[in-house]
A and B are shown apart, each in its own frame.
Chain A
Amino acid sequence: MDPDEDLLVRAVSEPAAFEPLVDRHSVALHGYLVRRAPTAADDLLSEVWLQAYATRHTYDAARGPARGWLFGVARNVLARHWQTVSRATDASQAASEIPEGDPWRAVDQRLDAAAMGPELRDGLARLPEPERELLLLVAWEQLTPTEAAAVVGIPAGTARSRLHRARTRLRVALTGTTLTNLTGDFA
């Protein structure tokens, strides 16, 4: 059994078994949060661990690896954060601005800060959000497609399809290749 999985399962009856997970995954989870909500990441990390601890009994190894489950908890915490921020955002904000509560905002700012080429930024911006999210989970969180699928709660096959589609769309955007390369449900 995967050590993380073992800890999560044991933690249901032995709470102390949960704590080693904090040491093992905090850096990765904080990275995930800081890339998407930089100013709130420190506080959100605590929320993630509290939420994960409170819902540890819902972990089902059959539905994916423990790491993916933890990132899924972080994703839910982030979603609530964005909802809160959206509600608090001034309704008079200009329509052209990316709203504070839009997950893409921090990501795009990060890409901009990294001096990433406008073509790639534009290509990423044009990806459907579910595809972009999966792509960034693989590129930034170094999750496998199967783990990324567990994070967003979809079958692994669906995640692989979406990732394939995202990759193809980016190739099209960045090299000028036509969409005839797309196959199956990717077209």
Chain B
Amino acid sequence: MTHEEQDTHVLDFPGATALKNAGRTEPPDPAVLAAARALLRQAMAADTEHAVPATPATAIVVTPRLGRRRLLACVAAVAAVAAGVAVLPVVGVGSEPPASVSAADLFNSMADRAASGTQRNAPYWKTTVKTWAEGDRTHTDEYYLSRNALVIKTQNGRTVTKKGPRGGTSWSVGNRQVSWDNLDKLPTRPDALRRLLSAGAQGASAAEQAVRQSGELLTDSPASPRLRAALYRVLADTPGAEVTERVKDGAGRIGTEISWKWSKNFAHSPHDPNWIVRPSDGQLLEIYHVRDDDADHVTERDTYLYAGPADSVR
């Protein structure tokens, strides 16, 4: 008797189909699988003389660098204003292996998820951000970025409109600016995209620049699913990323924290930032910053409650 026949035979009763359907589940979060693999590798490494590359089970982290205000000060493009972040610190390019297996797996999984998304063209890229900074009150504001302006709807009911720079809203890609309409012309082959993102920088600086600009594009631009997937693949191949699972963001959502360990400070990334992402759909949930001398002392949180296209400001 085949499996199918056995199954049919056993499940021959009214409601059997409904029962089978009730058992459907979503596949596990890639970070869950990564954690299981990492723990197993540790056990395997302990069993062998020559250690299998092991990744700490509880540590997968990425570290962004600029806070919203800092970014506002540094980046001229309107896009950066809304982004309020996405600066990833990186270290030791060239002398270190690519991102740890877990981090690379995580980014590649996120790339797969991103690639399966659907493209939607809308006049605005909206982000709803809950911001907390040490010594300040928490506030939640909405940012509507368009081709030529940024509209901010503040928590207290004010609406502020900032005109974009001459030439329209644009994003830094390597040593040039790419406009809203030209985002779709960026290459989606990871190696080609990395070359563009790294242009004008060398060594560790090139990696830091690629990571920082990738973060800006992922958080605050209407990048297509294909471009998002390519950006994640660039991150997957960048050294220094660490991951910590099951971290809660400022809204109580559980995600995976990613940090980049940089060997030195960079002009654009004076602080090590921390990202919390949701691997199941590749969304950035939060970026937070800690004190240079105390990694447990959080100084600022930007929690992304929404990031996506919007048809109008409302």
Binding site for B on A (CB under 8 A): 15-16, 18-19, 22, 26-27, 30-31, 34-35, 41-42, 45-46, 49-50, 53-54, 110-111, 113-114, 116-117, 119-120, 123-124, 135-136, 138-140, 142, 144-145, 163-164, 167, 170-171, 174-175
Contacts and interface: CB of A to CB of B under 8 A. Distances in A.
Contact of B18 (A26, A27, A117): A117
A167 B33 contact: no
> From DSSP, what is the main secondary structure of chain A's interface residues?
helix
11 contacts: A16-B44, A22-B36, A22-B37, A45-B28, A46-B57, A49-B36, A53-B40, A142-B3, A144-B3, A144-B7, A170-B13
Interface in B132-162: none
A110 B23 contact: yes
Contacts of A174: 13-15
Contact of A46 (B3, B18, B36): B36
Given A22-B40, A138-B11, A175-B14, A15 B25 contact: no
B25 A34 contact: yes
Please name the 3 residue pairs, one residue from A and one from B, whose CB atoms are nearest each other, closest first: A140-B23, A114-B22, A120-B15
B32 interface: yes
B80 to A, nearest CB: 36
Given A45-B28, A120-B15, A175-B14, A110 B40 contact: no
B28 A139 contact: no
Contacts of B39: 46, 49-50
Interface residues of B, number: 35
Contacts of A27: 27-28
A19 B47 CA distance: 14
Interface string B49-63: 000100001000000
Contacts of B25: 30-31, 34-35
Nearest to A169: B13
A135 B48 contact: no
Contacts of A22: 33, 36-37, 40
Given A110-B23, A139-B19, A140-B23, A46 B14 contact: no
B32 A42 contact: yes
A16 B48 CA distance: 10
Nearest to B11: A139
B32 A30 contact: yes
Interface in B1-31: 3, 6-7, 10-16, 18-23, 25, 27-29
Given A120-B18, A171-B13, A19 B44 contact: yes
Contact of B22 (A42, A45, A116, A142): A116
Contacts of B3: 142, 144
Contacts of A142: 3, 7
A121 B22 CA distance: 11
B115 to A, nearest CB: 19
Nearest to B48: A15
B13 A111 contact: no
Given A42-B32, A114-B18, A18 B13 contact: no
A95 to B, nearest CB: 27
B197 to A, nearest CB: 31
Nearest to A34: B25
Contacts of A144: 3, 6-7
Given A42-B28, A174-B15, 11 more contacts: A15-B52, A22-B37, A42-B32, A49-B36, A120-B18, A120-B19, A124-B19, A135-B10, A136-B23, A163-B10, A171-B13
B36 to A, nearest CB: 4
B235 interface: no
Contacts of A45: 28, 32-33, 36
Contacts of A111: 19, 22
A79 to B, nearest CB: 19
Contacts of B57: 46
Contact of A139 (B23, B33, B36, B47): B23
Contacts of A145: 6, 10
B43 interface: yes
A144 B272 CA distance: 52
A42 B32 CA distance: 6
B18 A116 contact: yes
Nearest to A45: B36
Contacts of B11: 138-139, 167
A158 B21 CA distance: 26
Nearest to A147: B3
A182 to B, nearest CB: 14
